[in-house]
Structure formats: C-alpha cells, structure tokens
Structure 1
Amino acid sequence: MDLDTTSSTAEYDRLIARHHAMRLRRQILAPAPSFAAAPAGPGGAPGGDRPDARPAAGGYGAHEAYGAYDRDHDGAADQRVILGGLGLVTPFADLIDHLYTFMFRRRPFLRALFPESMEFQQVHLERMFEYLIEHLHQPDRLSSTLAQLGRDHRKLGVRPVHYEAFEEALCEAIRHRSGAQWTAELEAAWVRMLRFAVRSMVAGAESALTEPPYWHATVVGHERRRADLAVVRVRTGEPYPYRAGQYGTVEHPLLPHTWRQYSMGCAPRSDNELEFHVRRTGPGGVSEALVEHTAVGDRLRLGPPRGTLMPEDDTRDLLLVAGGTGLAPMKAIVEELVEHRPRGRRVHLFVGARARADLYDWQALTELGGRKPWLELIPVADDAADGPAGPGGRLAEAVSRAGDWSQHLACVSGPAGLVDEVRTRLVASGLPSTRIHHDPVLARL
C-alpha cells in the first residue's frame, strides 16, 4: 500500500467517524414517537389489567419522564416476583424464541439489525436475562454494566424507539408462556426490569456521543501460529481508545451484523496498530472467517473497547493467569508494565495450554520479559510433568501450588471453566475474591 493510499484511507476513516458521531447525536436527541397501543392481554382488552400498560409519556425518548418512573424502583421486590414466577416463563430459550418471532412478525424491518443466524443472539439474550434477574437488587452495579453495554450497542444502529418494540414482544412472550397463570404483577415486574435496563443503556449511549459507534480497521498482518489459531494485526484510521487488558467486538465483512469479542493482545500504540489472538472455535463463524478467510488489506469493523480486567488504582504485586488465547490481554498488560510499572511491583504470569507446543506466543513473551527481574514467566502444559521447563498438570492446580498469593492482585483470562476453577482455588487459598479480576459473564456477550 503506497503512502497516498494510506493517507486517503486514514482521512476517509476520520470523515466516517465524524459522520457517525453527528448522526448518532441527531438520532438520540430527536423526539421519539409515543408508544403504540398496548397489545391485548389475556382478557382480550388492550393490555389486559396490567397497571403499567401505558408507559411514561414520550416513550423511551423522554429520558426525564423515564427517570422519574424508575426513581423509586424497588429492584429487590421485583426480583422476588420474577423469581417466584420463573417456572411459568422458562426455559428462556422458548421465551426468547417466541419474543423474536412476534417482534419480527409485527415489525419485519427490525430483522435487518440482526445477523442471519440468530443462535448466538438468542444465547446472548438468555444470559442477559439471567444477569439482570441475578443482580436486580444491586441497581448501581447493574446500571454501570448496562451503560457499557448501551455504549457498545450503538454499533448495531439501535435507537431508543427499538426498545419499544422489544418491550411489546417481551410482554407477548410472557403472556404466551404463562398462559392462564399470567398475572399483571408478574408482567409489570418484568417491564420495570426491562425499563431499568433500557434507561441505563440509553444513558451509556448518550455518554459516548463524541466517539464513533465503531471503528474501521485495515488488516496489516495475519500470522498463523497453529492450524486453528492466528494473530491478526490491524490499524485503525482514528485512535482506538482502549486500555491494556480490555477487549473489543469485531465484525468481519463475510458476516454482516455478527460481532464477536476478542481481547487486544498489545498495549496501546502511537501508530494505531493493535492485534487480536483468534482461535477457530467452529465452522461458519467469525473466528473461522478471521483465521481462514482474512488477508492483509481486508477491512474489519471494531466496536468500542470494553472490560475492566486490570484495575488502575491498585499497585499490589500481580498474579496473571492465562489459558489459551486468554494470553492476549495478559500480554497487553505486561507490555504496558514494561513502560509504566510502579516502582517495586513484581509480576507472575502463568500461561496454560494442553501441550507445550500449543504455547503459541511464548517466544514473543520471552523476548518481552527478557532480563526483567520483576517479571516471572511460568508455562504450564496439561500433558507435561513438573520439570525444569515449568510445572505440569492443570493450570489452576499449578498456580495454587506455586506460592502464597493472598497479598496479590490477580487477573484471570481464558475459557469460562478455567476462570471459575482458578478463582475458586485462589479464594480457598486465602486471596479475597474482591482482588480476583476477570470479565463478568455479561461482558463476554
């Protein structure tokens, strides 16, 4: 790519970013249409006898009225009602299947906002319902997570008015699933929970008006480290404002509207270049497209950075534990510490794999950590025994055997099962759970 082409591409990216920011501002600040008449309840009358059949004036676009509606919301009380009636609407897979069927039948134009395959989206929503219900009694924690999700959802083109259609479809699905045992109290609790979530997500979207909903990125490097794994390097035209340890969502042109999460495998760089470590997890998905069907010069889209894996206000010695491509955020953290390490801080990085041959980025790590007495790199392979090259066996066991971590700050990344196992062992050995950091379940969606 010559200099003129690179310059033109960067300028195009800057123009696109400004265009998206201006368009999003107009969309969010524009008055939203009022709610359509509530659909018929079990008794046949519009909305049945639901006390919340008529939303706050102005619909989801009127944030002041919406805030007043939620000010005295008793999340714990709604949590008890929803849990008490959970058997009526579960399994969530059936509830969600009816929800989307109804929504797309009533508003077919919304189908274009979703990927061709709805399987991942349905799992996403199922986990979100579980997360909402579990944390409904913790509004501050819930609001913070949902605000980040709302910021991220801007890349999908979601507007506040779209949540109206979702609420209507959710109420229809609840009535369908609960049948004759439907109650106004149960539906109202679900509606209040949804509206709390929407308010937080809209607030998150509004807080990010000065940044684009997504970034264009050009592939500048694609290296196969294994048959099923590639390190993909990209460069954005606009600075991508992430911190070491965070992740972003990636869309491949072969799969429009299909976004998957990948951690950045390097600390922020002045040349706007970043890398993703991608393992192919199955046929036909984003991971296969990135590993098998991506070349230098291809264009990807990146959603906003997310995650809080590495706290900024804690300078304790660090225990980093990475399994598989969970190495990516840990490598980024180590790179950042090479340049900006608090004086006296020591770092222990355990990297696990099924076999030593699967430690795909070990050479880069050893070069990065060479002659740095504050950094200890420990490879762990399932198929190996303890020896000079490092401990063997399961990663969680190797970490717990290696020392006393009770005074450390721990960051764990990798498959969900591994994260849970490491966390359980560290807590059992005396490390407070508040000092064990990993991305929450909702953030992985």
Structure 2
Amino acid sequence: MSTPHSASGTFGHPGGAGRSGEYHALLARHDAMRLRRMLLAPARPGGPGGPGAAAGPGAADGPEIPGTAAQAVILRDLPLVTPFDALIGDLYDAMFERHPYLRSLFPDSMEFQRRHLAEMFGYLIEHLDRPDEIEATCARLGRDHRKLGVRPAHYQTFEVALREALRRRAGAHWTEELDWAWVEMLRFAVRAMVAGADAALTEPPYWHADVTGHDRRGPDLAVLRVRPREPYPFRAGQHGAVESPLLPHSWRQYSFACAPDPAGEVEFHVRAVGPGGVSEALVAHTRVGDTLRLGPAHGGMTLDEEFPGDLLLVAGGTGWATAKSLLQELAARRPAPPGVHLFLGAREEAGPYDGDAVAELARRPWLRVHRTVGPGVSPVQELERHGDWSGHLAYVSGPPGMVAAAVAELTALGVPADRIRHDPLPLTSGALPGPAAPVPATAH
C-alpha cells in the first residue's frame, strides 16, 4: 500500500517497462467491460451507487469496521513489529520470495516506497477509531491507484506477505490476535480502496500530457506547463501526481500552479531536492515536447462558492503554486472577491522566483501582498504585526516546517481551526515509532 500522498504502487505495480503498455491496455478493456456491466445491471438495493453498495470482494454488506478493539491490540503489540522499516523489509522480502517477477514491476529504488508505506501504517493505526476518515482517505487512494494498474489480486498478495512479515518480526511472541488485528485493519482499508477505484471507472486512470513550457528559474527550480491530450478536471488549490518517462513507476505529487483555463494547460512549480529523483528529472532533464503522465487531481484546499469573509493566504517557497492558483481563480470571479492578504516568503534574495506573476496579481485592488525575502526568513514572522486575522479564512502552503509554524501562529492569534486550510502536516503519536503523514500538496 502506498501512503495517502505517495503515488508509487505498493501492493504490486503491474506494468514493467517492457510490458506496461500492453498491461494497461488490457486493464482499460477490463474496466470498460466492468463499467458496461454496472450500467446494464438492474438497479437493486445495495447495488452500484445505491445504499449499502459493496465496497469490494467479501463486502456485500459494506466494509466491516475494525474499530478500537483492533487498534488496542496493534498498539499493545507494536514493540514486537517495529521499527516499521524492518517489518516492511520483511514484507517485501516475503512478497518477492513468493513472486519473484513482482520485483521488476516496482521502481528501481524502494526507499521512497518503504518510507511512505511506514507512514501509511502509522496513519491507519492512529485513525482506527475514526473509520470515516480512513474510508474517505483510502477511497481517494484507491481512485489514485488505478493509474498503477492495481487490482484486488494484488491486495491479496500484499496481505499474505504482511502476515508472513508479522510472524517473522514477532517471532515466538506472535499470536493469532495480533494477526487478526492487522488483517482487520488492512482489509478495511482495502475495501475502501476498491470502492474508490470502482467509483472512478468513468474517468481515465491517468492522462498523457505534452510539455509545452519548461522555464528554469534557478539551478534547482523549474516552472513547467503541460497540455493533457484529453480534458483533465482539476480545481485551483488541488494537486496531482506526475510521472516522468525517465523514472517509470515513480509518481510524485505537485500542486497545480494555475486555475483551469480555456487552453487546457496545467502549470507545476518543481524544486529539485536531490539527485536521482522525480524532481531532478523534471527540473534538469525534461524538455518541451516530452510527454509526462498525470494522475487524477486531489485535495480540499479549494475556494468555497461563497466567502465567509476576508481571505488570508500564507505561502513559502513553491507553496506559492497553490496561492497562485487560488488568486487566479479569485481574479476571474465576478463580482470582485472580498479583501485578500497574501504573505509570501522567498528564500532567494532577488525575491520570488515567479515575480512577474506576483506583480501582475498584486495590481488587483482587493489584494495586499506582504513579502519576506531571504534564507531563514518566514512569512509567519510577519503575521502578528499586520492585523487581526480571527475573522479571516486562511490558506497555508509551503514547506512542512513553515506550514506547522503558520498554523500554530494563526491558532494563537485566534483563528478557529476550521477556518485554517493547509497542506497536511505530519501526525505524531507517543504510541507510534514515527510520524504518519496524510496527503501533502507537494512531494519530490
């Protein structure tokens, strides 16, 4: 399983470099046949789209909820199977020992894969007492996994490997109760993922997009524009996964840096964070005319139809992409939006890397821009000096540390939590061995 924000497959990524096209063509035909059967089937209670609709194999009466009993067992026995990196190492060893061909279907480097699977385990364990959140998150994840070609059989293979890994890690302390709790948690997540995939049968699993613009804004930063070959639905404030042909099977999430426009183009701001990754491939080795693949759009940092008051945007680094998309949508709305304040941080001494776009939007009479420039300088530091934000609806995007600081500062300044929308933050728990992070807006 991948995390809510990673986009590499984990249950088995069926589509190696030599046969990916044929495999995905077969999946497309399979999905078309499933959709046709669903549309032609007579309506029935609990059927597709109806109350009590099955969430996947073995879920005719809806997904069973593991709840706090399974959570208590998992937490009690957690020291037996942690750290998670050891458990996940055993899991993949077991999977590849049983099915050696699966290894060639994963990215060459498993580091990103393992790290985010550990985060997903943490997320599930912490949220077992909030099944509605898990169900919503995993439904989105299942929709996103369609681009990887994941099918129920791959989830079953993953479950077998997980159970074997639990036995290996727990050793003589393994119990049937421990096995039951982990399997209940996994199956609940899988049912929701299968339901999410089924609900998305009418949309493509991914979109091919041609690079129409590639503008280097620094040694480690590029602004990319791409044009999907088919209509690509998204909203300002959302994000989507991107795959480069230079790194097959490796998908990373990037925020949209534009509102939808008639030309159908999409803009991304990508900062390279290290050698050999997707971000480096997009910044240093992508050219106009290349073809990328886009996963479906996700995210809830979108604008309401009607505003409950003035707006506050806080953005740092490439978090400007989210703010830019929201401001473009605001600029296109009629009548004019309410008052908007933008606090924008840039680490480059020359100012924001997208300075022309900032200046163009700043000409709007309803927008006030507060800039902070320089390494180590954060827009958060300016919030308290510029007014009372308790009546504003706030949007925060950027590096995790900046986002966490901005959320804490806004809360301290009296902004209610339900009026602060932000890139998700790492979750911590004293019971868990490390952070678990739900969907971030940008990953590299």
State whether TM-score is above 0.5: yes
2:422 is aligned with 1:438? yes
Match of 2:366 among 374, 379, 388: 374
Deviation for aligned residue 1:319: 1.0
Following superposition of structure 1 onto structure 2, how do residues 191-206 of structure 1 map, counting pairs within 5 Å? 191-206=183-198
Question: 1:255 maps to what in 2?
Answer: 247
- Name the SS for the 2:223 alignment partner: strand
What runs of 5+ residues in structure 1 fail to find an aligned partner? 1-15, 31-60, 385-392
1:326 to 319, 327, 345: 319
Q: 2:399 aligns with which of 386, 391, 415?
A: 415
Contact 1:356–1:380 at 8 Å: present in 2 too?
A: no
Match of 1:23 in 2: 30
Contact 1:144 1:200 in 2 (8 A): yes
Deviations 1:183-230 (A, max 9, x none): 111111110110110011111111111111100000011101111101
Secondary structure class of the residue paired with 2:59: helix
The SS at the match of 1:356 is coil
Deviation at 1:400, TM superposition (A): 3.1
| Residue-by-residue CA offset, 1:102-159 (whole Å, 9 max, x unaligned) | 1111112322432111100111101111111111111111111111111111111100
CA contact (8 A) 2:272 2:283 kept: yes
**Residue 23 of structure 1: how far off its partner (Å):** 3.4
Matched, 1:152 2:147: no
* Post-superposition offset of 1:257: 0.2
Q: Is the 8 A contact 1:222 1:294 kept in 2?
A: yes
Offset of 1:434 from its aligned partner? 1.7
Equivalent residue of 1:412, what SS?
strand
Given that 1:27 and 1:159 are in contact with CA atoms closer than 8 Å, whether structure 2 keeps it comes out as no
Structure 2 equivalent of residue 101 of structure 1: 93
Q: Does the alignment pair 1:400 with 2:381?
A: no
Distance 1:102 1:427 in 2: 46
Aligned residues, how many? 390
Structure 1 or 2, whichever has the larger Rg, is 1
* Among 338, 341, 347, the residue aligned to 1:345: 338
Is the 1:237–1:272 contact (alpha carbons within 8 Å) kept by the matching residues of 2? Answer: no
Deviations 1:261-304 (A, max 9, x none): 11111101122111110111000111111111111100100111
* Cross-structure match for 1:361: 354
C-alpha RMSD of matched pairs (Å): 2.3
- Describe the SS at the equivalent of 2:58: helix
In structure 1, C-alpha distance between the alignment counterparts of 2:227 and 2:295, rounded to whole Å: 14
Q: CA deviation at 1:342?
A: 5.9
The share of aligned pairs that are identical, in percent, is 56
* Separation in structure 2 between the aligned mates of residue 100 and residue 364 of structure 1, nearest angstrom: 46
1:28 and 1:160 in contact (8 A); partners too: no
Cα drift, residue 356 of structure 1: 3.4
C-alpha displacement at 1:314, in angstroms?
A: 5.5
Asked whether the equivalents of residues 303 and 326 of structure 2 are also in contact (C-alpha less than 8 Å), the reply is: no
**SS across alignment from 2:383:** helix
Say if 2:297 is the partner of 1:305. Answer: yes
Distance 1:341 1:119, change over 3 A: farther
Q: Return the structure number with greater helix share.
A: 1
- Point out which structure has higher relative CO (alpha carbons under 8 A, 6+ apart): 2
Contact 2:313–2:342 (Cα < 8 Å) also in 1: yes
Q: What is the CA deviation profile of residues 318-367 of structure 1, one whole-angstrom value per residue up to 9, with x for unaligned ones?
A: 11111111111110110011012565522111111224325101221211
Q: Which runs of 4+ in 1 moved over 3 A?
A: 16-23, 25-30, 67-71, 341-344
Confirm or deny: 8 A CA contact 1:307 1:439 kept in the other structure.
no
Change (3 A) 1:313 1:128: farther
CA contact (8 A) 1:17 1:215 kept: no
Q: In the alignment, is the contact (CA less than 8 A) between 1:348 and 1:378 conserved in 2?
A: yes
* Letter matched to residue 431 of structure 1: V
- What is the aligned partner in structure 2 of residue 57 from structure 1? none
Deviation at 1:396, TM superposition (A): 1.6
> Does the 8 Å CA contact 1:228/1:291 hold for their aligned counterparts?
yes
- CA contact under 8 A between 1:148 and 1:201: conserved in structure 2? yes
Map of 1:317 onto structure 2: 310
- Deviation track 1:70-118 (CA, whole Å, cap 9, x = no partner) reads 43x3412211111111111110011111101111111123224321111
Asked if 2 retains the 8 angstrom alpha-carbon contact of 1:17 and 1:211, the reply is no
* TM-score computed with the length of structure 2 as normaliser: 0.83
Task: Specify which of 235, 244, 252 is matched with residue 236 of structure 2.
Answer: 244
- The one-letter amino acid paired with 2:315 is A
In the aligned structure 2, how far is the partner of 1:136 from the partner of 1:314?
A: 34
The CA distance in 2 between the partners of 1:177 and 1:130, in whole Å, is: 17
**CA, structure 1 residues 293+327, in 2 after alignment: closer, same or farther (shift >3 Å)?**
same
Q: Kindly tell me: are residues 17 and 167 of structure 1, through their superposed partners in 2, closer, same or farther at Cα, counting changes over 3 Å?
A: closer
Amino acid at match of 1:175: R
Show structure 2 runs of 5+ residues with no match: 1-22, 38-53, 425-436
Alpha-carbon deviation of 1:436?
Answer: 1.2
TM-score, L = length of structure 1: 0.83
2:328 aligned partner: 335
